[in-house]
Structure 1
Amino acid sequence: MTDLTQDQICYFGYGSLVNEETLPTGTTVIAGQLSGWKREWRGCSKGKEGNGRMSGVGVCALGVRREEGSVIRGAMVLDTKANLPALDKREWHYSRKSLADGSFVPDCGRQMPADTFLYQVQDQYAHWGNDEHPILQSYADCVMAGFYRLWGQEGLEHFVETTDGWDRVPILKDREDPYYPRAIVLSKELAATIDDLLKSVNAQYLNR
């Protein structure tokens, strides 16, 4: 393990933070696996005022819970400490949780910093999504595009298989007119691949 310099932070992304398109310029993304945590669709909140189309809209975001024996893929992000206030604002209904030394294993074998953390949904928001707090398709697309960029088809399958809640939390079809402020444009091929994968886990959809 190496020590971070005074102007650095290092955090694990398991959802939208895996996608480099949502990160500040100059960050370093290190793909790998985290032990001891399980990913789930259990993070309900409403968009804050002034956040574009998200203002006042109920949504379900990804969260994680501690679970011995569980392993999830994701990305460790090296960033500057100057970007931490903006990151905390983005993850406003999450709290920073320190990660145990050695819990993250990078795919590349790179030596990792000793002081790392992730964002865990705060208790008051840690509820399973529902019709009033659905998964935004535009958010899921962004997350899954990040996994595809790092690991290809295998990454997509891993994400779907290691995320709890597909069978209980509906997805709002907003791909063509996204609510998510960091929405990305998918190729037709990737969109079709994602849709097929979600059908395989019996994902349910809402239309509004």
Structure 2
Amino acid sequence: MSTAMSLPITIHAQSLRHALSTHSDQTKKQKQQMTRLFHTLLASYSTPFVQRVSPSHPPPPAVYVFAYGSLINPSSLQRTIGSTSALPSHQSHSSIKTIPAVVSGFKRSWEYKCSRRQYTAVSVTRDESAATNGVLVQVQWAQLRALDARESGYTRELITMDKLRLYEKTDELNNGHYAAMDSNNLPSNAIVFMYTLDSSNNHTASPSVPIPQSYVDCIVAGALQTHGYAFAREFIQTTAGWAAHWVNDRNAVAPVRRYVPDCSAGERDLSPDLQDAVDELLKAVVPNAFMHRVDV
């Protein structure tokens, strides 16, 4: 036992022994009670704290964030929270594990004005007729604070389990089968948050605040690499507002290029093959909007 731990034990022990020896008029029962107190005190100092916690106390809740935009991409997520040990996913990319899921009652649109780099990003607003696909990632409370700072223009909202469904298997997901299973596959005490936008703050993309392909690449490539073609296609299909002003800024330099990868966090520019795969998917799902995309 270290000196720092033994010092308070010595002080308490001396006090109790003194009380036992000087109060000779005490009854035998009182002395026995004080002796038991002494041994209990000694044991409390020598037993690790985790062993002293009552087994009846419930474990702390597992905290998840439902990501539906750039946070779908594990490398983009990692630039904010670093590595995390979530539940095992069916597939993993980088050190962050994500779980494909759907939240009902919310519509995803190109409606958020990102003032940091003047571009239009995706957001979700309430719409009981809609559903939004994305990924669940387990986080620690400290990581949640970092995400709050990144998503400062949004509101972190608690999502009830009746709104949440998990995809069944990645192999079925990639084959276009969207059978979902109950969210009770998460820990029973799980808490799920999502960053939402109040409908009064809706924004429409414009030439000065466009939808940038660099940001689209981050999301769609991340979806493709982590959970496959069908999941990425579902992202595009369930996102409204593609017809707004959309620019291809892949080959531009900052500040014209709006979303710049953070190499220190593992983000990279897309390879030519991956760029082609993203473009082919966009062209197939939103052909009219893609045709009007402007190169800058």
Structure 1 length normalisation: TM-score?
Answer: 0.83
Match of 2:145 in 1: 85
Structure 2 residue runs without a partner (length 5+): 1-57, 87-97, 169-180, 262-266
SS at match of 1:42: strand
Name the amino acid aligned to 2:134: G
Tell me the C-alpha RMSD between the 2 structures: 2.3
Match of 2:281 in 1: 197
- How far residue 72 of structure 1 moved from its aligned partner, in angstroms, is 2.1
Decide whether the 8 Å contact of 1:4 with 1:115 is kept in 2: no
**Structure 2 vs 1, CA of residues 15 and 173 (structure 1 numbering), >3 Å: closer, same or farther?**
same
SS at match of 2:162: coil
In proportion to residue count, which structure has more strand?
1
Decide whether the 8 Å contact of 1:31 with 1:150 is kept in 2: no
Structure 2 counterparts to residues 39-118 of structure 1, below 5 A: 39-47=108-116, 54=117, 58-108=118-168, 110-112=185-187, 113-118=189-194
Counterpart CA distance in 2 for 1:180 and 1:27 is: 27
Name the amino acid aligned to 1:36: G
In proportion to residue count, which structure has more helix?
2
The one of the two structures with greater contact order (alpha-carbon pairs below 8 A, sep at least 6) is 1
Match of 1:144 in 2: 220
SS at match of 2:108: strand
Match of 2:75 in 1: 21
Percent identity, aligned pairs only? 31
- How far residue 172 of structure 1 moved from its aligned partner, in angstroms, is 2.2
Counterpart CA distance in 2 for 1:73 and 1:127 is: 21
Match of 1:158 in 2: 234
Instruction: Show CA shifts across 1:178-206 (max 9, x none).
Output: 43144632232221122233334222323
Structure 1 residue runs without a partner (length 5+): 48-53
Q: Which has the larger radius of gyration?
A: 2
Match of 1:127 in 2: 203
Decide whether the 8 Å contact of 2:63 with 2:190 is kept in 1: no
Counterpart CA distance in 2 for 1:188 and 1:45 is: 27
Match of 2:249 in 1: 174
- How far residue 123 of structure 1 moved from its aligned partner, in angstroms, is 5.2
SS at match of 2:65: strand
